[in-house]
Amino acid sequence: MNYTTQMDAARKGIITKEMTVVAEKENMDVEALRELVAEGKIAIPANKNHQSLSAEGVGQGLRTKINVNLGISKDCCDIDKELEKVRVALDMKAEAIMDLSNYGKTEGMRRRIVEMSPAMIGTVPMYDAVGFYDKELKDITVDEFFKVVEKHGEDGIDFITVHAGLNREAIETFKRNKRVTHIVSRGGSLLFAWMELNNAENPFFEHYDRLLDICEKYDMTISLGDAGRPGSTADATDPLQIKELITLGELTKRAWERNVQVIIEGPGHMALNEIEANMLLQKKLCHGAPFYVLGPLVTDVAPGYDHITSAIGGAIAATYGADFLCYVTPAEHLRLPDLEDMKEGIVAAKIAAHAADIAKGIKGAKEWDKAMSKARADIDWETMFDLAIDPVKPRKYRESSTPHHMDSCTMCGKMCSMRTMKKILNGEDINLLRED
């Protein structure tokens, strides 16, 4: 039986190879997975032209996934460095990579990432339009915007962020309700500028069916971008954010009518006490579609440490319903991240995702922690390193400060509680003051 998209297949009762891969990774019944894909509560971004893909699912009942942003800019345009980031991100088992390149002809880099990556690949076609046509933003036509989207589909991109919910009505809401940080979404701000300069409607909203045609053709998942996401805790849960979210819910239903998969993007900066309510609102207004959060960063005053502020918010968000975390690096708000920034961002996001998976009762999450705890009780250093989210750093720390007794560390020495309990329970003398 033929099908156009993963959602179309699911609704026809077809188990695709991608569904089989995801079900095996999640230790989940494939029929239960198919039903959730059919309902739109799980998305499997899998462009027909992404031949190297090892599919991942995003959504209800699945492990929380993380995304890594990278890409060149005019100030930092070394493609080889960005491709090295891709390789390292894949080694660190990131489930998704977004190429956010916004300078020059990016097609070559985009295609290389798709060819080399088993992870799902995302882009924001809006970023590519200026470089693709070498034209000022104001002069880009509606047809040209959609040609860029088509090109990303041809190149094998699995999910595209499109800020289709920032329509004229949302802009009027924004103008009536002043913000501290205005519109911080890069794609959203570019669309806002294009709309204002041309006195026109958002082309992706006005011609949304045309967007769906392209996504259906390649089975690209639409990640409905939140142009109105708060860029400061002061702007969180304000009229623009909620107005846009309502529109995204309506656009979600229209996409599902065409069997196009949808992910909803969510808030950027938000106080801790607002996160749970925002997750509930998103799931309610967007009909249970998978939710992708950009943080949220829970305070605005920690530049240089925003991988931490993001991980705190991400863990809470995922506990209450977010399915997909966009990593944030220590370089956020400051510069293009380098390789070490990226590594720190990935680890922070993976910690947040796993912490939430424990809280959500995801299969295997607690068992991983239990295995680590047992290795600690056994003082089994190699097993601890093998189980660690990042095996490199704990091994480096251990090797940098060697204790006199290898069944301890240099903090506690022979007073190590694990060592003490292990010896006592085995009927041994603990020998605190004398040498063994």
Question: Per the domain annotation, does 30 fall within a domain?
Answer: no
Question: Per the domain annotation, does 22 fall within a domain?
Answer: no
- Structure confidence at residue 39 (pLDDT): 98
Positive or negative, the Cα torsion across 61, 63, 69, 70?
A: negative
Distance CA 159, CA 221 (A): 4
CB 183 within 8 Å of CB 227: yes
Pick the last residue of a domain from 302, 332, 356. Answer: 356
Quote the pTM value.
0.95
Where does 256-342 show beta strands of DSSP type E?
A: 262-265, 291-293, 324-326
59 and 173 inside one domain? yes
Kindly state the tokens that stand for 298.
């829970």
320 and 376 inside one domain? no
Question: Per the domain annotation, does 13 fall within a domain?
Answer: no
Question: Per the domain annotation, does 133 fall within a domain?
Answer: yes
Write the Ramachandran bin of 127: left for phi over 0, alpha for psi from -120 to 50, otherwise beta.
Answer: alpha
Where does 100-184 show beta strands of DSSP type E?
A: 120-123, 159-162
Pick the last residue of a domain from 306, 329, 356. Answer: 356
- Structural domain tally of the chain? 2
Place of tokens 């970023």: 127
73 and 164 inside one domain? yes
Q: How far apart, in Å, do the first and last CA atoms of the chain sit?
A: 72
Question: Per the domain annotation, does 194 fall within a domain?
Answer: yes
Where does 218-261 show beta strands of DSSP type E?
A: 221-224
Pick the last residue of a domain from 356, 389, 417. Answer: 356
* CA distances to 30, 242, 264, 269, 275 from 181, in Å: 44, 16, 22, 11, 19
* CA distances to 7, 226, 366 from 71, in Å: 30, 20, 35
271 and 387 inside one domain? no
Q: What is the pLDDT of residues 315-346, one digit of tens each?
A: 999 999 999 999 999 999 999 999 999 999 99
- Structure confidence at residue 436 (pLDDT): 61
271 and 298 inside one domain? yes
345 and 398 inside one domain? no
Q: Residues annotated as binding site for [4Fe-4S] cluster?
A: 409, 412, 416
Q: Which of 290, 259, 296 is nearest to 278 (CA)?
A: 296
127 and 237 inside one domain? yes
Question: Per the domain annotation, does 436 fall within a domain?
Answer: no
397 and 294 inside one domain? no
314 and 412 inside one domain? no
Question: Per the domain annotation, does 12 fall within a domain?
Answer: no
- Structure confidence at residue 180 (pLDDT): 98
Kindly state the tokens that stand for 321.
């319903």
DSSP letter at 234 equals G
CA angle 133, 137, 140 (to 5 degrees): 55
Place of tokens 């829970």: 298
**φ, ψ at 292 (rounded to 5°):** -115, 115
372 and 317 inside one domain? no
Question: Could you tell me the CATH number of the domain that includes residue 337?
Answer: 3.20.20.540
Q: Residues annotated as binding site?
A: 69, 98, 127, 163, 185-187, 226-229, 265, 269, 292, 333, 409, 412, 416
Question: Per the domain annotation, does 7 fall within a domain?
Answer: no
Place of tokens 């992706």: 204
Using CA atoms in the order 363, 221, 339, 335, what is the torsion angle rounded to 10 degrees?
-120
What domain range is 418 assigned to?
365-425
Cβ neighbours around 386 below 10 Å, total? 13
What does the pLDDT profile of the chain (436 residues) look like in tens digits?
A: 799 999 999 999 999 999 999 999 999 999 999 999 999 999 999 999 999 999 999 999 999 999 999 988 888 888 899 999 999 999 999 999 999 988 877 888 899 999 999 999 999 999 988 888 889 999 999 999 999 999 999 999 999 999 999 999 999 999 999 999 999 999 999 999 999 999 999 999 999 999 999 999 999 999 999 999 999 999 999 999 999 999 999 999 999 999 999 999 999 999 999 999 999 999 999 999 999 999 999 999 999 999 999 999 999 999 999 999 999 999 999 999 999 999 999 999 999 999 999 999 999 999 999 999 999 999 999 999 999 999 999 999 999 998 887 888 889 888 889 989 998 999 998 888 777 6
Q: Residues annotated as binding site for substrate?
A: 69, 98, 127, 163, 185-187, 226-229, 265, 292
Place of tokens 């053709």: 217
DSSP assignment of 18-44: HHHHHHHHHT--HHHHHHHHHHTSEE-
291 and 189 inside one domain? yes
Kindly state the tokens that stand for 329.
């690096």
Kindly state the tokens that stand for 127.
């970023």
Distance CA 407, CA 400 (A): 16
279 and 346 inside one domain? yes
Q: Residues annotated as binding site for Zn(2+)?
A: 269, 333
